[in-house]
Amino acid sequence: MYISEQLKKSSIAEYLLYMWQVEDVIRAYGLDIDDISEHYIPHFELEPERAVELIGWYENLINMMHEEGVEETGHLQINQNIIILLNDLHLQLLKSPKFPFYSAQYYKALPFIVELRQAKKNKGEEEKSEIETCFDALYLVMLMRAQKKDIAPETATAIDNISKLLAMLSEYYRQDKANELELD
């Protein structure tokens, strides 16, 4: 909760990846708030009042996951909405002649995005936006690193280009929210 609030202000991309991780933590505990309260929350070593707030936050997320049917897979609508906003901004940035560095980074990442989307299509997965595909790739590599799995050099190159694109998009999102971005 506290980390998510900080990340939402500083980097929407990091916030989204964090929230996906929170969804997976909740799933790992079987969407059981008692189990989360007893075994997960204590790792944060919070003051009792803050621990109660954090438990309430997790409980709200669990309720939303049940209501939205994302107990096993998928993402909460609040997180999907961010993907939609980021994708809309991405398309606006590409259309505007004011952001040549963003367009250049996009074209560096594009071959990897196309390859990822084709691989998902070949597996019969539903087609996602380019931006969601980028987040999926980053999250997968994040999980692989957490499991200490090797990352192929080609994958590392792809992730580097995708990370740079999402970092730029995240900064433009922050500027847009602060009314500092002029797209026209």
In a domain, 161, yes or no: yes
The pLDDT, as a whole number, for residue 184 is: 78
Q: Please say whether the beta carbons of 25 and 40 come within 8 A.
A: yes
First to last CA, the chain: 36
Tens digits of residue pLDDT in 54-68: 999 999 999 999 999
Q: 167: burial class by Cβ within 10 Å (0-12, 13-18, 19+)?
A: middle
* pTM for the whole structure: 0.92
Amino acid at 33: I
State which of 68, 92, 110 marks the end of a domain.
Answer: 68
Residue 53 domain boundaries: 2-68
Query: Same structural domain for residues 62 and 95?
Result: no
Report, as an integer, the average pLDDT of 91-96.
97
Same domain as 96, residue 165: yes
Q: What is the 3-state secondary structure (H, E, C) of the chain?
A: CHHHHHHHHHCHHHHHHHHHHHHHHHHHCCCCHHHHHHHHHHHHCCCHHHHHHHHHHHHHHHHHHHHHCCCCCCCCHHHHHHHHHHHHHHHHHHHCCCCHHHHHHHHHHHHHHHHHHHHHHHCCCCCCCHHHHHHHHHHHHHHHHHCCCCCCHHHHHHHHHHHHHHHHHHHHHHHHHCCCCCCC
Check pLDDT > 80 for residue 99: yes
pLDDT per residue as tens digits for the range 17-39: 999 999 999 999 999 999 999 99
What pLDDT sits at residue 25? 97
pLDDT score of 1 more than 70: no
Among 68, 100, 119, identify where a domain stops.
Answer: 68
58 within some domain: yes
Whether the pLDDT of residue 163 is over 90: the answer is yes
pLDDT for residue 94 is more than 80: yes
Report yes or no: 89 and 172 within 8 Å, Cβ to Cβ. yes
In a domain, 172, yes or no: yes
